[in-house]
Structure 1
Amino acid sequence: MSQLYASLFYQNEVTEIFSDRALVSYMIEAEVALAKAQAQVGVIPESAAIAISNIASTALDQLDFDALAVATGLAGNIAIPFVKQLTAIVKQNDEDAARYVHWGATSQDILDTACILQCRAAMTHVEALIHQCYRTALAQAEQYRSQVMIGRTWLQQGLPITLGHKLARWASAFRRDLARIDAMKARVFTAQLGGAVGSLASLQAQGTAVVQAFAAQLQLSVPSCTWHGERDRIVEVASVLAIVTGSLGKMARDWSLMMQTEIAEVFEPAAKGRGGSSTMPHKRNPVAAASVLAAANRVPVLMSSLYQSMVQEHERSLGGWHAEWLALPEIFQLCAGALERTLEVLQGMQVNAENMQRNLECTQGLIMAEAVMMALAPHLGRLQAHHVVEAACKTAVEKGVHLKEVMTELDQVKAYFSAVQISEIFKPESYLGNIQDQIDAVLQEAKGEAK
């Protein structure tokens, strides 16, 4: 990603976690954990593990990243030249300990484990952002629970809802995101150590004990078996991020449509230099929505690559594994960036209640046609009530008058309702169904989790 665009689409901390330097630091962490685990089991001398651990603490600054970049292109992955450089660094300090660097492991063991460590670290930031979005959406749902606005279906005006209801639905989506992340952690954050073909034959009878100790060193789950060729863990974590990003895209689509000039119900936070146009001084563009929607557009394409990469050959693959290195970091970065932009909007969203009221009235009562029909139905029957209201709607449109005016003059209506009662039926706030119950349920769920 160009640095010119990073601030628009990415999030700093997650971007740093997937930087070259961070990747190598996680690889060093995996190598140190491997040495400690093997020393614990008795595979290598404890003195060698101590030396590797001590030297590795400064190895990151001694590695030649330019040489790594060149050698990676020749070797096919970064682990091969990395292990050579790390071994040489250890050898400069302890020649005997250098013999035990990367003992019994294969390149994919180190890279997969480093990837899982990256995912775990990045997920803490993603979770934190989701929590912030969740709490902010809950607060906004409470604040705007009674702010009536029009609900829209198929991009057309439907029936009245409240802004709080829309925000409660968003909050509920954030809660489900958090539940998905929590549910997958034990499965996904799992160590990888299998050796050349997954058998750990190089460690003979001590392979299982080393895997268990290795996972414990890194505080990762212990795999029941090697997963070099089974990439469901990588796809699962990415899939959850894709769901999060898709939900954010839905929210961004909503608030960007609500920012349209003719609608003007909500606005992204205002700031100097934000949302302007190079040619039109009057513009206030939904720039955060553009960023989130771009992520929601891009992530499914990247997910396609990961899904295709699941089809791998035998014990370790050619190409499929490599494709993950490009797709997974970007999915994480786009998701985190979209969350950050969404949080900014939720925290600083500007609401125009007057325009919400104006939009409720712009059809001259037609949005209350169902309410009128349901009020008449017990007296006329649902189908007959539908016919009466449908005809009244056509008359109101033809004459350019309010539907209430037409309904008030109908004998079928006057027989059962006074003018005051009809006015009550036409109040949008009188036809909100169980919206307040739904908002209460979402808020109550959050209170239950906080205990």
Structure 2
Amino acid sequence: MTKLTTLPNDTKGLFSKQATWQSWLMVEGALAQAQGETGMIPLAASTEIRRHMRIEDYDLDALEAEITQSMSPVMAIVRAMAVRCDGDAGGYVHWGATTQNIIITGKMLQLRKAHALTLERLGRCLTLLSGLARKTADWPTISRTNRRQALPITFGYKVAGWIDEFQRCVERLIEVEKRTFVLTFGGASGAMHSYGPDGFALSAKLANILGLEVSAVHSRATNDGLGEYVAVLGLLAVACERMGNELYTLMANEFGEVFERQSENVVGSSTMPHKTNPKYVVALLAESAHLRNMVAPALEACRPSHEGDAAFNFRLYDLLDAAGISAYGVVTRLETLLTHLECDKAAMYRNLMINPAPLMSEKIMLELAKSTGRQNAHDIVHHAIVVSERDDISFADALWQEKEVSSHFKDKTALADLLDPATYTGCSAEIAAKLANAGAESAEMVAKHARKLSGQDI
């Protein structure tokens, strides 16, 4: 088992104003390093510029004032960085770059940090779900389709479905990285005007320093990778909502199959002292809906005009910040819920046994079909259910009144042996055990991947 690291409560700090300025300084420093190593600027100037990459060394109030006056935040950073450089090194800061090159590249660094934390937290959730699937692999419960009782399953099978979906979320989040965390650094219009043919080597070097992929076309108007990333986060939100809604429903008094472990000091209602309301699941559902609702605006922001459009940029950058914060919030709330989740095996069995015999209609039908054929067996069993409800007699008695049933089974005991729903859970336990193991493996994999991503920060 991988040792758990301490994770932050939220990622808001990664997208703060100061963190944004820091990301720009890192990009400017990396740009100077790449240009020095490729001979585009003097190596001494490159080294000097990189001495001034810490936002803590700057007068933040002066920066704020300069930004207010110039209405150009990146230019304010460039000027402040240049002033701090000795000799003529300041003249090489931001060499050939444009504002949006710096902003979007800095945004990639910020978002990648949040992405790594989100993956690490999601890995923990998979570990918890795997443990839950293993624990409840053989706990009989009832499946429900169209909100009506269907066939017996185990609770572990239900959990296995969640694990399977979250594994796909992990796959999508990792697979989309190569199209999301991409360097777009081709100057004002993206065609390397200020760099010339050397721009291709420069972009490759800069991407390597920053741990980013390289754009084939450095167009500032191509944002589909970012829109796709938010859409993938939206699918993560949907997975959390699906699981959360199921648990929220099963927490109702009428079900009582799961509940949240809460301190005795937690208050459910200001006016109803008896209430013990769910707290963690509702927080998960609210944050998941918030994240899911970002998908459409993100796609809307992916269609700027011509070769660049600040109006669309502002929308997209704000959405990326919000999505990075919300995605981590979602998986943090998911982990909190799973940590406090308790399952009531007795309540599951009680609900399974509300009207147990009809739940076995499929099994009876398949057995009877051996002598009557499948279609006839279906009609016979369905008729027995109608008679049972109409005449208020047991399902077993109604079945025995059917001549095809009484002739197929040697006695009523043989029929009764097929009417225990706890014995008819299909391959539920096997599936639960399989996904418990798969989920644990995925958790280990994603933890390693997240640590690798975190190590890419320069």
| TM-score over 0.5 for the pair | yes
User: Cα deviations across residues 46-94 of structure 1 (Å, max 9, x unaligned)?
Assistant: 222222111223x34524258538836973xxxx334324423441442
Distance 1:228 1:26 in 2: 18
2:419 to 406, 426, 439: 426
8 Å contact kept, 2:137–2:156: yes
Structure 1 stretches of at least 4 aligned residues deviating more than 4 Å after TM superposition: 272-275, 446-451
CA apart distance, 1:374: 2.0
1:36 to 33, 37, 40: 33
Distance 1:69 1:115 in 2: 23
Q: Does 1:221 align with 2:213?
A: yes
2:251 to 259, 267, 270: 259
Secondary structure, in 3 states, of the residue corresponding to 2:164? helix
Secondary structure, in 3 states, of the residue corresponding to 2:11? helix
* Mapping of residues 157-236 of structure 1, within 5 Å: 157-236=149-228
Distance 1:394 1:403 in 2: 9
8 Å contact kept, 1:147–1:163: yes
Aligned to 1:64: 60
Distance 1:54 1:96 in 2: 14
CA apart distance, 1:273: 4.7
* Mapping of residues 34-433 of structure 1, within 5 Å: 34-57=31-54, 59-64=55-60, 68=64, 71=67, 75=71, 80-94=72-86, 96-274=88-266, 276-417=268-409, 418-433=411-426
Aligned to 2:429: 436
Distance 2:168 2:267 in 1: 31
Range with greater deviation from structure 2 (398-407 or 370-379): 398-407
Q: Relative to structure 1, is the Cα distance of residues 70 and 411 closer, same or farther in structure 2, using a 3 angstrom cutoff?
A: farther
Range with greater deviation from structure 2 (109-118 or 403-412): 403-412
What percent identity do the matched residue pairs reach?
Answer: 27
8 Å contact kept, 2:126–2:163: yes
8 Å contact kept, 1:131–1:174: no
Secondary structure, in 3 states, of the residue corresponding to 1:111? helix
8 Å contact kept, 2:143–2:151: yes
Partner amino acid, structure 2, of 1:427: D
Q: Does 1:14 align with 2:2?
A: no
User: Cα deviations across residues 397-419 of structure 1 (Å, max 9, x unaligned)?
Assistant: 23444423432454332222233
Structure 1 length as normaliser, TM-score?
Answer: 0.90
Q: Relative to structure 1, is the Cα distance of residues 114 and 69 closer, same or farther in structure 2, using a 3 angstrom cutoff?
A: farther
CA apart distance, 1:113: 0.6
Aligned to 1:4: none
Partner amino acid, structure 1, of 2:215: P
Partner amino acid, structure 1, of 2:421: P
Distance 2:69 2:252 in 1: 49
Secondary structure, in 3 states, of the residue corresponding to 1:151? strand
Q: Structure 1: any 5+ residue segments left out of the alignment? A: 1-9
User: Cα deviations across residues 206-258 of structure 1 (Å, max 9, x unaligned)?
Assistant: 21121111111112122222031110121122122111111000000000000
Secondary structure, in 3 states, of the residue corresponding to 1:161? strand
Q: Relative to structure 1, is the Cα distance of residues 303 and 177 closer, same or farther in structure 2, using a 3 angstrom cutoff?
A: same
Secondary structure, in 3 states, of the residue corresponding to 2:203? helix
Range with greater deviation from structure 2 (144-153 or 411-420): 411-420
Range with greater deviation from structure 2 (324-333 or 194-203): 324-333
CA apart distance, 1:195: 0.8
Distance 1:187 1:223 in 2: 9
Aligned to 2:22: 25
Distance 1:73 1:242 in 2: 38
User: Cα deviations across residues 304-323 of structure 1 (Å, max 9, x unaligned)?
Assistant: 11111121111101421211
Secondary structure, in 3 states, of the residue corresponding to 1:204? coil
Q: Relative to structure 1, is the Cα distance of residues 163 and 130 closer, same or farther in structure 2, using a 3 angstrom cutoff?
A: same
User: Cα deviations across residues 378-411 of structure 1 (Å, max 9, x unaligned)?
Assistant: 2222222222222221222234444234324543
Distance 1:334 1:54 in 2: 34
Q: Relative to structure 1, is the Cα distance of residues 24 and 420 closer, same or farther in structure 2, using a 3 angstrom cutoff?
A: farther
Range with greater deviation from structure 2 (239-248 or 298-307): 298-307
Partner amino acid, structure 2, of 1:203: Y
Distance 1:310 1:325 in 2: 11
Secondary structure, in 3 states, of the residue corresponding to 2:194? helix
8 Å contact kept, 1:104–1:202: yes
Distance 2:389 2:87 in 1: 90
CA apart distance, 1:274: 4.3
Structure 2 length as normaliser, TM-score?
Answer: 0.89
Aligned to 1:6: none
CA apart distance, 1:190: 1.5
CA apart distance, 1:297: 2.2
Distance 1:157 1:328 in 2: 42
Q: Structure 2: any 5+ residue segments left out of the alignment? A: 1-6, 446-458
Range with greater deviation from structure 2 (433-442 or 19-28): 433-442
Secondary structure, in 3 states, of the residue corresponding to 2:152? strand
